[in-house]
Structure 1
Amino acid sequence: MTDDIYVTRPHLPPLEEFKDLLGKIWDRGVLTNCGPYHEELEASLCSYLNVPHISLFNNGTVALIVALRALGIKGEVITTPYSFVATTHAILWMGCTPVFVDVDPVSLNLDPARIEAAITENTAAILPVHCYGHPADVDAIDAIGLKHRIPVIYDAAHAFGVECHCGSVLTHGDLSVLSFHATKVFNTFEGGAIVCRTPEQKRYIDQLKNFGHDGETSVIETGINGKMSEINAAFGLLQLKYVDEAIGRRAAIDKRYRAELAGLPGVQCLTDTGQSRQNHSYFPIRIGDAFPMNRDDLFHYMKERGVHPRRYFYPLISNFSMYRSLPSSDPAGLPNAVAAAEEILCLPIYPDLDDASVTRIVAMLHEAATKGT
């Protein structure tokens, strides 16, 4: 019986190496509250990602919430309907109102022209996503933010290690937020981070994630508990040793998919958006009219045969019950996002996906392409 293949699997370092780090945690007796592994991981990530300051979090969603809080965002936040729901939940959790605008039809990132057209006197922030790790149009979006004096917070959950024309994509905007969830290119089991520009920003964010404490006896803010544990941080340090190897394997799978799906009618492999370094975090394909099945039929066809792709992102965030009544959720104003949600299928990609499994996936797509022809 052939094993099922899922869209992703967590990348795990050698267990014996992790046991060594756990032993040191046991010896120290420090489990949390920004211990030595936490401090070491922050420094190591700043160096690896080439960013000035980073604050670790217990997950990416809390990091998004704190990023909004750190900049004092109150009002409307322009964002994308084509993302994981955590992007917009963070906005609503902070008592702000999401304003959805359409995405570019090629990059599937926020369209800068539509961002500017949506700005009103109530606009408090712009929250773009680097979808699939492909950089948003950072120059145009940053310029809009500066022009209108509106903060820009990038949801960079997919963009670990990604570089654009001017270096790390994480240095754009006022803040960038990372996810280190188990399924991400770099993971700490669960985790996240905020990349910030100044020591003062980092100090304030560090206070917010630690209940608002400023020293032992002073609380200056209504903070939250967003700290990363020592165990997660130790795992992250170990992951960092192997992340380039993991990205290299992802790149090899990406290259093979592109070569073996080239010319298959109705299947379009999404291209990058000009980044100088990719992380190959996802492999989305677009199913067009020339394919004999629609995207959903292909999704079920593959699942029935033991391969489990994902419809990232379906349905649109704007379709969920807590958002669908917003004026900006009207599908008529989001044609590119609607089309993407109906046509995109993400194929399995992760470092441990072996060549035989890639062969099986590609053969299944070619087989599906013969149905009804």
Structure 2
Amino acid sequence: MKINVTQTYLPPQEEYQAYLKKAWENNWLTNRGELVEELEEKLRAYLGVQHMTLTTNGTLPLQIALKTLEIKGEVITTPFSYVASVSSIVWEGCTPVFVDIDPEYWTLDESKIEEAITEKTTAILATHVFGNACHVEAIQSIADKHNLKVIYDGAHCFGVQYKGQSIFNYGDVSTCSFHATKIFHTGEGGAWFTKDQELQDKLFYHHNFGHKGQEAFHGLGINAKMSELQAAMGLAVFDHIIEISEGRKKAVAIYDELLEGRDLQKIKLRAGTSPNYHYYPVVFKSEEELLKVQKALNTENIYPRRYFYPCLEELDYVVANNCSVAQEISKRVMCLPLWESISPIDQQQISKIIEACL
């Protein structure tokens, strides 16, 4: 049997159908129906956030945040992230300026941000890498000093807390992905989060064509609304979120035990961060060693994934900034297969293959 880097959690089909039945009874499939509103209410309570809006995918919230905050010119960001972080900046007509990452935390190195700021800089877009919190206090201090907006890409951060509160409560806007590969998912989907009511209202208008009621408009907008079909999946998955989280936590503990003492670098969790066990990334001594392990695993029908490779500085529509740490880690990092019900026997096999290659 093929073992991929992750496996989508599928709730019992009858539970999904029960939620879909509500949509059928309401004859309402889109335009913020009962299921979307129910899911938002449950997620706000579970995550401990003030304002959030569900969207049809996890990239649109980044683009809408940039548009709503009226970001122009240069945006300081990380080259160690999924491509959506940078493509959203370019898509909105801004210029990404890369700052290197911390060699232990793998998040944007806050000590290097100020030297990259120019008169054209208007925002910082940082990624909480693999659910590990950025140094949000330092970033906010820099933003306040230079009058910059802060957007966090928290695609990997569902359920993560930092110093006792949701990681989504930091920055002007935070975003999350609810893609099928995530801990919590709606098939495709996402959300933005903010603590500012006025900003929330503006973001909301932008995600629904600018509609202010049926016959009036409030500025420019786009269609980013989540459908009832997506929300039904989210509600069915949410009913199992505790068992999903606990299953992943146990699987991570097994990997920790199996790989203890191996010459592998692991991400350093920032103090105050509660993990969500979304990924299990390891960094090898060299790219050659990684490729050797990858080949050996593939031979046994096991397919880990190289997150985040290649380094985003290599995209042909950006300007590189010689972020040597990000470039080096991106060549040597690999995420091992992980989901809530992965077999410990499969984990043992993966560990043995890695051990044999080191």
Q: Please indicate the TM-score interval, normalised by the length of the shorter structure.
A: over 0.9
Residue 198 of structure 1 deviates from its aligned partner by 2.4
User: 2:354 aligns to what?
Assistant: 365
Query: Is contact 1:11–1:352 with CA below 8 Å preserved after alignment?
Result: no
Query: TM-score by structure 2 length?
Result: 0.97
Range moving further from structure 2, 59-68 or 235-244: 235-244
CA deviation profile, 1:62-121 (whole Å, cap 9, x unmatched): 111001111111110000001110110100010000000100000110001111111111
User: 2:239 aligns to what?
Assistant: 241
Identify which of 280, 283, 290 aligns with 1:283: 280
CA deviation profile, 1:185-241 (whole Å, cap 9, x unmatched): 110000010001122222221111111111111122221000000111121122112
Residue 276 of structure 1 deviates from its aligned partner by 4.2
User: 1:348 aligns to what?
Assistant: 337
Q: Are 1:220 and 2:218 counterparts?
A: yes
Question: How far apart, in 2, do the equivalents of 1:273 and 1:102 lie?
Answer: 17
Question: How far apart, in 2, do the equivalents of 1:151 and 1:276 lie?
Answer: 23
Percent same amino acid among aligned pairs? 39
SS in 1 for 2:59: helix
Question: How far apart, in 2, do the equivalents of 1:65 and 1:39 lie?
Answer: 22
User: 1:272 aligns to what?
Assistant: 269
Identify which of 166, 175, 178 aligns with 2:176: 178
Question: How far apart, in 1, do the equivalents of 2:254 and 2:268 lie?
Answer: 14
Identify which of 278, 293, 303 aligns with 1:308: 303
Letter in 1 for 2:176: L
Identify which of 77, 81, 84 aligns with 1:83: 81
User: 2:326 aligns to what?
Assistant: 337
Instruction: Provide the aligned length of Structure 1 versus Structure 2.
Output: 358
Give the root-mean-square deviation of aligned CA atoms. Answer: 1.3
Question: How far apart, in 1, do the equivalents of 2:248 and 2:172 lie?
Answer: 30
Query: Is contact 2:133–2:273 with CA below 8 Å preserved after alignment?
Result: no
CA deviation profile, 1:34-85 (whole Å, cap 9, x unmatched): 1111111111111111010001100011111001111111110000001110
Query: TM-score by structure 1 length?
Result: 0.93
User: 1:149 aligns to what?
Assistant: 147
SS in 1 for 2:352: helix
1:1-373 mapped onto 2 (5 Å cutoff)? 3-264=1-262, 266-288=263-285, 294-323=289-318, 326=319, 329-330=320-321, 333-369=322-358
Letter in 2 for 1:367: A
Q: Which runs of 5+ in 1 are unaligned?
A: none
Residue 176 of structure 1 deviates from its aligned partner by 0.2
Q: Which runs of 4+ in 1 moved over 4 A?
A: none
Question: How far apart, in 1, do the equivalents of 2:191 and 2:220 lie?
Answer: 20
Letter in 1 for 2:159: G
